[in-house]
């Protein structure tokens, strides 16, 4: 729709809309920093086997080693597969404002593969890949551990 063809809002309607916007802003500021990422239960940091409708694993806290975890929830695609070096997407539904930081290696070592802001997500089409899992190159099929951060050093460029 051409925005120039919008019907102008006049009089009382405009005042009402302005008030509603102001109230929404106040409510937004007063609310806890709870926010939901795509297809991830509140309070959890989720990784997905393929896309947001495939099998997933939800982390409530950070995890130093994905090698003992499987995609045990969500859709059937990838269900039962190990999480380590297999995640193609991630979603952050932190209720405490925590960023999800995914590392190439277990023990939260090595460079960051990627990070996800509270209430945000990253799909497979946004992640780079060289089609080799766990070789430390690209972003799909690489995450091996998770750190949660709400203060201190927060990397730039998080999804």
Range in contact with Ca ion (rule: CB under 5 A) among 22-30, 46-54, 70-78, 130-138: 130-138
For residue 128, state whether it binds Ca ion (rule: CB under 5 A).
no
As a three-state string, the secondary structure of the chain is CCHHHCCCCCHHHHHHHHHHHHHHHHHHHHCCCCCCCCCCCCCCEEEECCCCCCEEEEECCCECCHHHCECCEECCCCCCCECCCCCCEEEECCCCCCEEEEECCHHHCCCEEEEECCCCEECHHHCCECCCCCCCCECCCCCCEEEEECCCCCCCCCC
Which is closer to Ca ion, CB of 51 or CB of 65?
65
**Least separation, in Å, of the C-beta of 59 and Ca ion?**
16
Which is closer to Ca ion, CB of 36 or CB of 113?
113
Range in contact with Ca ion (rule: CB under 5 A) among 1-9, 24-32, 75-83, 138-146: 138-146
For residue 86, state whether it binds Ca ion (rule: CB under 5 A).
no
Number of residues this chain uses to bind Ca ion (CB under 5 A): 10
For residue 123, state whether it binds Ca ion (rule: CB under 5 A).
no
For residue 144, state whether it binds Ca ion (rule: CB under 5 A).
yes
Where do contacts with Ca ion occur on this chain (CB under 5 A)?
85, 104, 130, 132, 134-135, 137-138, 142, 144
């Amino acid at each position: 729709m051409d925005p120039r063809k919008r019907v102008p809002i006049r009089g009382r309607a405009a005042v009402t809309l302005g008030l509603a916007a102001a109230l929404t802003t106040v409510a937004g500021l007063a609310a806890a920093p709870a926010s939901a990422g795509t297809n991830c239960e509140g309070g959890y940091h989720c990784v997905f086997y393929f896309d947001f409708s495939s099998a997933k694993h939800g982390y409530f806290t950070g995890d130093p080693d994905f090698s003992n975890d499987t995609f045990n929830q969500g859709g059937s695609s990838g269900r039962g597969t190990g999480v380590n070096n297999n995640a193609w997407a991630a979603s952050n539904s932190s209720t405490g404002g925590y960023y999800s930081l995914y590392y190439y290696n277990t023990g939260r070592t090595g460079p960051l593969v990627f990070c996800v802001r509270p209430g945000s997500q990253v799909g497979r089409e946004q992640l780079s890949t060289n089609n080799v899992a766990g070789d430390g190159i690209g972003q799909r099929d690489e995450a091996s551990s998770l750190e949660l951060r709400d203060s201190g050093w927060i990397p730039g460029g998080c999804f």
